[in-house]
Amino acid sequence: MLALVLQAERPLTAYQLLERLQTARRAAPPTIYRALDFLLARRLVHRIERLGAFVACAEPDHEHTLVQFLICRQCRAVTELDDHHVAEAVATAAEGARFRMEHAVIEIDGLCAACAGGVFAD
């Protein structure tokens, strides 16, 4: 199950995971959701709300107060960032609004280097 997410070249939806599992062995939808809940709770995978899909965590031992995802709108490649400057800035802004932030996910849309075609060439 985790291996499937890890091997995937792109984020997978629960349905796509189910399809892949069923080619290997029988798995019922409730099993998939239980397995995903387990992996999510241990931060071994993340859910990308915008895509309704799951990706393997890039660094499971990170704190993950505010994780950032760069999502390519063309090829759907997802890159996980864990920039603590972003987390601190958001926490400070939330505090300013008298709100104690516990957890947040920022999903950033755009184009990856490959799809942007030379924009990042140096």
- Chain contacts with Zn ion (rule: CB under 5 A): 57, 72, 74-75, 77, 112, 115
Nearest approach, Cβ of residue 22 and Zn ion (Å): 27
List the beta bridge partners of residue 68. 81, 106
Between 35 and 57, name the residue whose CB sits nearer to Zn ion.
Answer: 57
Between 10 and 28, name the residue whose CB sits nearer to Zn ion.
Answer: 10
Q: Which residues of 84-112 are buried (b: 16+ CB within 10 A; e: fewer)?
A: eebbeebbeeeeeeeeeeeeeeeeeeebb
Nearest approach, Cβ of residue 36 and Zn ion (Å): 15
CA distances from 61 to 9, 44, 64, 65 (A): 22, 9, 9, 12
Between 28 and 75, name the residue whose CB sits nearer to Zn ion.
Answer: 75
Alpha carbon distance, N-terminus to C-terminus of the chain: 39
Between 16 and 82, name the residue whose CB sits nearer to Zn ion.
Answer: 82
Nearest approach, Cβ of residue 62 and Zn ion (Å): 6
Nearest approach, Cβ of residue 109 and Zn ion (Å): 11
DSSP 44-62: SEEEETTTTEEEE-S-TTS
